[in-house]
């Protein structure tokens, strides 16, 4: 059942009304070719809610679109919260739909992380509490739009994160005991550490705390990131060629999509090798 939970937390664009292409703003940059205000449809969005340049997003300057993942929030808002009524045919619902979508995205992201924590055997002592967090978050995600807008999502994130952190510590503590050659002399990193452009080629980052780390353009070629906690870490343009990310904790497909890798990069079996990797 836990694996099925994760399967339902993947974007299903066929059942979404292009919400990420409308609700979210973006600015002209290396990730986006144009400016777009939130609540305004992207110029590439077709009337049938399909992207007109989906097959060439990176080449056309929309790399940011290829690294975004709504964790299934789009279809939840489209088909459940608003019962399949789209914003083109019911324009009166558009504003509320676009306001609810970022809230749902946060809830579905939490559901994805908790569902992953429930697959981690060393975290079994707290699985009951994690399951309770999953069910609570799921109840929130099923609320009507008016109630969703009143949610204190930040407070709920903080509550869930306490259990995610406990799960991470249990998993990494057990892994440290099992890894050969770990003598506790690795460099310690804290949440949100600035490693932008860092030279970490071949680094031993096993079981490291890289939660929220800024790894933008970091050189991680051949680095060992097994069982590292990378929840919220920014991997944009990080060089992961030859790196080992098997058993990374809370690694997402979006993080891999934002990075550079190759055929020698080892990734968890639940994730896919990005098409743009060499």
My answer on whether 111 and 244 are in the same domain is no
- Does residue 1 have a pLDDT over 80? no
- Does residue 207 have a pLDDT over 80? yes
Per the structure, the complete domain to which residue 242 belongs is given by: 182-278
What is the tally of structural domains in the chain?
A: 2
My answer on whether 127 and 190 are in the same domain is no
Q: What is the mean pLDDT of residues 189-196?
A: 91
Q: Which of 188, 183, 181 is nearest to 228 (CA)?
A: 188
Choice among 6-10, 29-33, 134-138 with the minimum mean pLDDT: 6-10
Backbone angles phi, psi at 26, to 5 degrees: -150, 160
My answer on whether 159 and 210 are in the same domain is no
Distance (Å, rounded) from C-alpha 107 to C-alpha 41?
23
Q: What is the mean pLDDT of residues 39-53?
A: 95
My answer on whether 44 and 99 are in the same domain is yes
My answer on whether 38 and 157 are in the same domain is yes
My answer on whether 190 and 163 are in the same domain is no
When the pLDDT of each residue in the chain is averaged and rounded to a whole number, the result is 94
Distance (Å, rounded) from C-alpha 126 to C-alpha 85?
40
Last residue of a domain, one of 127, 144, 174: 174
pLDDT in tens, 150-171: 999 999 999 999 999 999 999 9
Q: Which of 70, 26, 67 is nearest to 44 (CA)?
A: 26
DSSP state of 188: P
Task: List the alpha helices (DSSP H) in the chain.
Answer: 2-7, 63-66, 73-75, 94-117, 127-141, 145-148, 153-178, 253-258
Last residue of a domain, one of 174, 200, 226: 174
User: Which of the four pLDDT bands, split at 50, 70 and 90, describes residue 188?
Assistant: confident
My answer on whether 135 and 50 are in the same domain is yes
Q: Under DSSP, is residue 26 helix (H, G, I), strand (E, B) or coil?
A: strand
What is the pLDDT, as a whole number, of residue 7? Answer: 61
């Amino acid at each position: 059942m836990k694996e099925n939970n994760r399967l339902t937390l993947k974007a299903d664009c066929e059942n979404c009304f292009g919400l990420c292409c409308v609700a979210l703003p973006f600015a002209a940059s290396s990730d986006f070719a144009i400016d777009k205000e939130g609540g305004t449809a992207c110029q590439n969005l077709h009337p049938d809610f399909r992207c007109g340049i989906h097959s060439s997003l990176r080449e056309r300057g929309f790399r940011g679109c290829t690294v975004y993942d709504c964790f299934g929030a789009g279809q939840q808002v489209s088909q459940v919260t608003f019962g399949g009524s789209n914003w083109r045919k019911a324009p009166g619902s558009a504003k509320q739909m676009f306001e609810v979508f970022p809230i749902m995205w946060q809830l579905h992201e939490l559901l994805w992380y908790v569902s992953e924590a429930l697959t981690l055997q060393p975290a079994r002592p707290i699985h009951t509490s994690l399951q309770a967090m999953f069910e609570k978050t799921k109840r929130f995600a099923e609320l009507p739009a008016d109630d969703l807008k009143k949610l204190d999502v930040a407070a709920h994130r903080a509550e869930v994160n306490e259990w995610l952190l406990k799960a991470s510590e249990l998993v990494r503590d057990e892994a440290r005991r099992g890894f050969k050659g770990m003598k506790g002399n690795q460099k310690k990193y804290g949440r949100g550490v600035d490693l932008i452009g860092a030279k970490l080629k071949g680094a031993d980052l096993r079981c490291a705390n890289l939660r929220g780390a800024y790894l933008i353009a970091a050189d991680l070629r051949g680095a060992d990131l097994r069982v590292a906690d990378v929840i919220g870490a920014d991997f944009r343009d990080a060089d992961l060629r030859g790196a080992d990310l098997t058993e990374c904790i809370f690694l997402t497909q979006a993080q891999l999509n934002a990075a550079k890798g190759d055929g020698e990069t080892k990734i968890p079996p639940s994730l896919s090798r990005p098409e743009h990797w060499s």
